[in-house]
């Protein structure tokens, strides 16, 4: 739908105030004001924001706890703008899925079990932010890079 040749977009103009005047041939007139509210359609993808520290992080090996809150927003309203987070097993290695989890509502990424530098020095954690739009959900994907910091945790044996 267009108004004055421009496409109607709820994100830029959520409503229109119209004044409608009727004039008869005897110069009598009446005016009514009408507010037209623009309904939302799911036309915006979730945008992932930079969490504290960006998308590159370091975790010391053997660290028992680590957390990072992800940010995402969607300009759509209601269900179309409601975002859930998840780690897609098709985009993450098995060992990544065994070491990290994400809260679908808060976007809190947590370390499930300590990392070991001697086993793996870097993890690439791919997360998806998806809206709950109707008729289809729109998704954005982002990658966190986790570098494991080596500690002197292996004893030296001199025989």
Q: Give residue-wise pLDDT tens across range 20-68.
A: 999 998 889 999 999 999 999 999 999 998 888 789 999 999 999 999 9
Name the segment(s) of the chain with CATH classification 2.60.40.60: 47-149
| pLDDT given at position 7 | 86
pTM of the predicted model over 0.85: no
Cβ-based neighbours of 104, under 8 Å, separated by 6 or more: 84, 85, 86
**CB neighbourhood size of 42 (10 A):** 20
C-alpha–C-alpha distance, residues 62 and 54, integer Å: 22
State the pLDDT confidence band at 152, using cuts at 50, 70 and 90.
Answer: confident
C-alpha–C-alpha distance, residues 142 and 108, integer Å: 14
Per residue in 114-131, pLDDT (tens digit) is 999 999 999 999 999 999
User: Which of 3.40.50.1100, 3.80.10.10, 2.30.30.230, 2.60.40.60 is the CATH number of 47-149?
Assistant: 2.60.40.60
Coil/strand/helix, residue 28: coil
| pLDDT given at position 158 | 59
* Percentage of residues in the chain having pLDDT higher than 70: 94
C-alpha–C-alpha distance, residues 143 and 127, integer Å: 6
Q: Which is it for the CA torsion 67, 93, 53, 11, positive or negative?
A: negative
21, 30 contact by CB (below 8 A): yes
| 95 φ, ψ (degrees, to nearest 5) | -65, -30
Q: Are strands 139-149 and 56-60 parallel, antiparallel or unpaired?
A: parallel
């Amino acid at each position: 739908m267009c108004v004055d040749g421009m496409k109607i977009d709820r994100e830029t103009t959520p409503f229109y105030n119209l004044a409608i005047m009727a004039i008869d041939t005897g110069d009598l007139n009446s005016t009514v004001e009408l507010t037209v509210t623009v309904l939302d359609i799911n036309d915006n993808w979730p945008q992932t924001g930079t969490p504290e520290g960006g998308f590159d992080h370091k975790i010391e090996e053997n660290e028992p706890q680590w957390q990072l809150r992800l940010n995402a927003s969607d300009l759509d309203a209601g269900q179309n703008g409601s975002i859930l987070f998840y780690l897609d097993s098709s985009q993450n290695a098995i060992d990544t899925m065994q070491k990290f989890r994400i809260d679908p509502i808060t976007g809190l990424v947590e370390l499930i079990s300590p990392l070991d530098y001697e086993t793996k020095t870097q993890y690439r954690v791919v997360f998806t932010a998806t809206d709950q739009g109707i008729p289809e959900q729109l998704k954005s994907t982002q990658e966190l890079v986790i570098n494991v910091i080596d500690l002197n945790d292996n004893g030296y044996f001199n025989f």
